[in-house]
Amino acid sequence: MPSPDIAIPTRAPAEVSADDTILPFEVAALDLRGRVIRLGPAVDAILSDHGYPEPVAKLLGEAIVLGVMLGSSLKFEGRFILQTQTDGPVRMLVVDYMTPDKVRACARFEKDRVAEAIAAGKVGAPALLGRGHLAMTIDQGGDMSRYQGLVALEGGTLEDAAHEYFLRSEQIPTRVRLAVAEEFRGDGGPKHRWRAGGILLQFVPRAPERARVPDLHPGDAPEGTVPHVMPEDDAWVEGRSLIATVEDVELIDPEVSSERLLYRLFHERGVRVFRNTEVRAQCSCSREGVETMLRRFSKDDRDHMVENGVISVTCEFCNATYVFQPADVADDKSE
């Protein structure tokens, strides 16, 4: 049955990249589905506004792509929050995706340790993140439950953590590629701007007996039990081999559109793209929201926040500052 979401297929893939878009696709012949994320102005706005050291910005850019990728895959309305908490120089990354199209993000890091890492040339994700975990939370507001997926970060990359999450929690064979880079320009405009992109590929066979993933270890099986090793499905081997050929530049180059990339990868099998959706950088903080939050604190906690006669709160995502008179945010009980 035709789905209303299916765009009219184009015969030739679009030449020009559409920035700040999410393009879902399907390779029916291989039971593969996925999405391509392409971020230009949205990721540049977030990373440029924060002015983080370059390796921190790059790492946050990867997290933004992953957050948009996973948040936009979920069939719900609300907020998807991806957050790392680790012992490396970059202690925390937060990406907050709000359906249908808003994203905001920030990082917490130790300035001295980041400077040391840069001086030592150890600026990859494993060195900057260290060890800890990656948490994923869905907040549908009101009384709706918050679901948290948790995966260990053990000195790997965000891509590694995503693979681990899908293997253990969702049991869906999955490959994720993330790329971030600064584009340098000599046309008199801003000296550089950030670009980012990514691709998600999943094996979702229609026949349930093909959907099983290999056992990870025998668990509580009696000693001497040989783990049941399941060969990978040929379709999935083909899909993940193709994804392995994607280079970073293909995910961020404005000259390579999402459609062109998919065509290059899957033209022999036939790839169908669905209607793309847009994403933009926008904070969701408000004076009203901050006021509500302040009212939830105890009077004692609020008293400690008063400086020069006022309580001022700065949003960590967008640096907006909200200033209140203590009496304006006193709760009913304390009055």
Shortest separation between residue 286's beta carbon and Zn ion, angstroms: 8
Stretch that binds Zn ion, among 50-58, 221-229, 266-274, 313-321 (CB under 5 A): 313-321
What are the CA-CA distances from residue 99 to residues 67, 75, 147, 210 (Å)?
12, 10, 16, 32
Helices 54-71 and 158-165 pack at an angle, to 10 degrees, of 20
Query: Given the complex with Zn ion, which of 52 and 165 has the nearer CB atom?
Result: 52
Query: Given the complex with Zn ion, which of 213 and 294 has the nearer CB atom?
Result: 294
> 75 burial class (0-12, 13-18, 19+ CB within 10 angstroms)?
exposed
Buried b (16+ CB within 10 A) or exposed e, 82-95: bbbebebbbbebbb
Binding Zn ion (rule: CB under 5 A), the pick from 45, 114, 318, 329 is 318
Shortest separation between residue 314's beta carbon and Zn ion, angstroms: 9
Stretch that binds Zn ion, among 187-195, 214-222, 277-285, 289-297 (CB under 5 A): 277-285
> Could you give the maximum distance between any two Cα atoms of the chain, in Å?
71
Binding Zn ion (rule: CB under 5 A), the pick from 57, 136, 178, 285 is 285
H/E segment holding residue 235: helix 234-243
Query: Given the complex with Zn ion, which of 181 and 320 has the nearer CB atom?
Result: 320
Stretch that binds Zn ion, among 26-34, 49-57, 76-84, 285-293 (CB under 5 A): 285-293
| 138 forms part of the interface with Zn ion (CB under 5 A) | no
Q: What's the distance, CA 17 to chain centroid?
A: 20
Task: Return d(Cα 186, Cα 209) in angstroms, integer.
Answer: 55
> 224 burial class (0-12, 13-18, 19+ CB within 10 angstroms)?
exposed
Q: Tell me the one-letter amino acid at 282.
A: Q
| 317 forms part of the interface with Zn ion (CB under 5 A) | yes
H/E segment holding residue 150: strand 147-154
Binding Zn ion (rule: CB under 5 A), the pick from 93, 283, 290, 329 is 283
Shortest separation between residue 312's beta carbon and Zn ion, angstroms: 14
Query: Given the complex with Zn ion, which of 95 and 283 has the nearer CB atom?
Result: 283
Shortest separation between residue 7's beta carbon and Zn ion, angstroms: 34
| 49 forms part of the interface with Zn ion (CB under 5 A) | no
Binding site for Zn ion (CB under 5 A): 283, 285, 315, 317-318, 320
